[in-house]
């Protein structure tokens, strides 16, 4: 990750102490967790417009409280990123689902993708479809699904994604090609 290895080790140690029931470790790690989530969410929001970042406070808080409330057997920093990306994904997909339902009203009817884009239905519907396609991909090849989850929902860079999964950046690039092709095919089918 971007942080020094000393900090990475500190985070890993605190996560493990917390897991072993040391609540003092929790006090120490929560500000770090919060900062990491804020960094991830900010990068996620800035992905389309670098330099122009909306405050992602609502997203960060939502993800933060879910992480704190969840009973997670933390292993290390990489594990934190994986869980955090999953939590961010869940928060965003729930938001998209609610919005999608509101917009579509009761009688949900599939419409072509370009038409959906034109009338502004697109984003939430696409995110819901992407989430479902990612879950199907995970059944077949969980690592490829994890790669997309870390990049798309976790806001991580290729290098961070590689580190979080313990693989090389070259492998991330290569596997992402197949993951994207597979997902594109699924999304094209679900919007047809």
Partner 1 sequence: MSPVSNTLRWQRVEELFYAALELDPAARSAFLDATCGQDLVLREELESLLRSSQHSLNFARKAVVEVAQQQSNAHVRAGERIGAYRLMKVLGKGGMGTVYLAARADDLYEQRVAIKLMHPGYAPAESMRLRLGEVLTGNGEL
Q: What does the binding site for partner 1 look like in residue numbers (CB under 8 A)?
A: 41, 44-45, 47-48, 54-59, 61-62, 65, 91-92, 95-96, 99, 102, 117, 122-124, 126-127, 130, 140-141, 152-153, 174, 177-178, 180-185, 187-188
Q: In this complex, which beta carbon is closest to partner 1, that of residue 17 or of residue 141?
A: 141
How many angstroms separate the CA atoms of 84 and 189, rounded? 29
3-state secondary structure of 160: helix
Q: How far is the CB of 79 from partner 1 (least distance, A)?
A: 22
How many angstroms separate the CA atoms of 33 and 11, rounded? 9
- Which of 28, 19, 156 is closest to 82 using CA atoms? 156
Q: How far is the CB of 131 from partner 1 (least distance, A)?
A: 10
How many angstroms separate the CA atoms of 35 and 32, rounded? 5
Q: In this complex, which beta carbon is closest to partner 1, that of residue 80 or of residue 153?
A: 153
Q: In this complex, which beta carbon is closest to partner 1, that of residue 20 or of residue 102?
A: 102
**Cβ proximity of 53 and 42 under 8 Å:** yes
Q: How far is the CB of 46 from partner 1 (least distance, A)?
A: 9
Q: How far is the CB of 23 from partner 1 (least distance, A)?
A: 18
Residues with Cβ within 8 Å of 89's Cβ and at least 6 positions away in sequence, in order, are: 131, 134, 149, 153, 154
Q: In this complex, which beta carbon is closest to partner 1, that of residue 108 or of residue 181?
A: 181
């Amino acid at each position: 990750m971007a942080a020094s290895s000393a900090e990475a080790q500190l985070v890993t140690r605190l996560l493990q102490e917390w897991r072993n029931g040391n609540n003092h470790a929790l006090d120490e790690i929560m500000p770090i967790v919060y900062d990491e989530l804020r960094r991830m969410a900010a990068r996620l929001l800035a992905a389309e417009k670098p330099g122009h970042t909306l405050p992602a406070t609502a997203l960060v808080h939502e993800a933060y409280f879910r992480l704190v409330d969840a009973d997670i057997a933390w292993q290390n920093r990489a594990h934190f990123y994986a869980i955090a990306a999953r939590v961010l994904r869940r928060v965003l997909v729930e938001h998209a689902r609610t919005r999608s339902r509101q917009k579509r009203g009761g009688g949900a009817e599939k419409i072509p993708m370009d038409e959906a884009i034109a009338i502004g239905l697109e984003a939430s519907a696409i995110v819901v479809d992407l989430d479902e396609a990612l879950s199907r991909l995970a059944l077949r090849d969980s690592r490829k699904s994890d790669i997309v989850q870390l990049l798309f929902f976790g806001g991580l860079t290729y290098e961070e994604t590689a580190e979080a999964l313990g693989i090389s950046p070259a492998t991330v690039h290569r596997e992402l090609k197949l993951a994207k092709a597979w997902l594109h095919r699924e999304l094209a089918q679900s919007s047809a």
